[in-house]
Amino acid sequence: MTMFALLSVADKTGLEALAGPLVAAGLDLLASGGTAHYLQQQGFTVTEVADYTGSPEILGGRVKTLHPRIHGGILARLDQRTELEQAGISPIAVVVVNLYPFAQTIAQPEVTESEAIEQIDIGGVALIRAAAKNFTQVSVLTHPDQYPDFSQHLTQGLTESYRRTLAQQAFAYTSSYDQTIAQWFAGEGRLPETLNLHLTRHQPLRYGENPHQPATWYRQEAVGFTTARILQGKELSFNNLVDLEAARRLVARFAPLPCAVIIKHTNPCGVALGITLAAAYHRAYTADSVSAFGGIVGLSQPVDEATAQQLVQTFLECVLAPDFSPEALAILQRKPQLRLLALPDLTTAPPLDFKAISGGLLVQATATQPDDPAMWQVVTQRRPTPDEWRGLSFAWEVVQQVKSNAIVLTRDQQTLGIGVGQTNRVGSAQLALAQAGSQAQGAVLASDGFFPFDDTVRLAARHGVQALIQPGGSKRDSDSIAACDELGLTMVMTGTRHFLH
């Protein structure tokens, strides 16, 4: 009796390399239209699903594999083979299916609803679920990455345990696919009623935040740091990855301008723009050279020779950039333990932010939308000068990525002092001003939250700060505004708070 391998794939990567071992194992190839034509062009003998079922594809391809001759062949148990023979149905031992690219379709900015709906796979999901259900008899493959390992098992002999693993992976695949569709129906920016997380282990980590904490890196899909090229250096740690994300998040706010960010313990210790990338890094480093030791560096442009020459002058943990020139890599090889990550797309951010608490997860939309300066209000008698406006905009971008309570002092697109994570806002201001020292004269100050009292304004004025930017929203905003007017300062209120806990 004929035994089939059924193939129906949207992604045809590696398909011909899989088809050879299937045929060598004595299986006949059965495939839907597009997949059949592809394999025939590669020289394989293939039976088209429509010819086998006697039912041509209808409704523009919406119905093609939903047929008893297909699903009967997949779902039959060994004790039901006689019934199959009586119905003229051949058993299907292998099902190779991947689904319409729904996630890629909805990621396109101009996609219409009708275009998205047509990429909701029906028949493919049914095939995968049927094969996974009958894993004792059927092997199911859903991704080209599985093909080489399966081909090896096919030669050595397929075990029920291996087919069970494939079934688990298949159900995880369809579950993730359905969750993507459900989220799309819920609407952009809305959180679904039920949240199912589908994460695949990307790689184990040596440990978590501390050596006694086991840790593993999971991924949702092949985007972001899972696609980065690690060009040299030690294995990435849990803390490295957390800091690298903080660096990516901040440097992405300024790309493609030449920008350098140095991160320590998820907080920036130096941020600067420059005429060149090398100039930007020099300014970020000199903003706080003490804290930069052992830091994580994020750069908005490919690393060139001049920047690399500076990077090797101090001990750093990691450098993240879109790419590295050959000349830069040759220089950076002097520090073989330094981790180098090339991530061409610095802007792709996770759509959701998770925080674990006892009994569940807190989930929020990731704050990626830039603020609109057109909505900002000058609330003081004195308006900012053009230079102050540029400084306030720069400081406002930086303070959003500093743990609250956060105060950032800058001048000429360079951080001078950063007050991080204090239990009161004036305490953060004192830290930032102390770090800036005499450089605070003529600087601008950004606060991630409102000023509950006028003490921060008066403290800043005593150190020579000339302009402030903050969300506003305190019942005592008028006190801070009056203090600014009294002292000749200018203040801008954005109307948007940016706590980072």
Question: Where in the sequence numbering do the catalytic residues fall?
Answer: 133, 265
Tell me the sheet residues that pair with 168: none
The DSSP element (H or E) to which 464 belongs, if any, is none
- DSSP one-letter code for 324: B
Q: How many CA atoms lie less than 13 Å away from 432 in the CB half-sphere?
A: 38
Tell me the sheet residues that pair with 205: 215
Tell me the sheet residues that pair with 58: 63
Is-contact 243 267, C-beta < 8 A? Answer: no
Q: Which of 373, 369, 376, 374 is nearest to 472 (CA)?
A: 376
3-state secondary structure of 18: helix
Q: In whole angstroms, how far apart are CA 124 and each of 7, 18, 131, 314, 458?
A: 10, 19, 11, 54, 66
263/287 Cα distance (integer angstroms):
12
Residue 101 makes CB contacts below 8 A (sequence gap 6+) with: 10, 11, 119
Q: Which of 389, 400, 419 is nearest to 499 (CA)?
A: 400
Distance, first Cα to last Cα, the chain: 64
Tell me the sheet residues that pair with 298: 261, 320
The neighbour count for residue 326, using CB atoms within 10 Å, is 7
Is-contact 481 381, C-beta < 8 A? Answer: no
- DSSP one-letter code for 198: -
The neighbour count for residue 412, using CB atoms within 10 Å, is 15
Is-contact 446 408, C-beta < 8 A? Answer: yes
Q: How many CA atoms lie less than 13 Å away from 423 in the CB half-sphere?
A: 0
Structure-block tokens of residue 406: 């956060």
Structure-block tokens of residue 306: 């001049």
3-state secondary structure of 190: coil
Sign, Cα dihedral of 321, 325, 328, 332:
positive
Residue found by looking up tokens 């806002």 in the block: 425
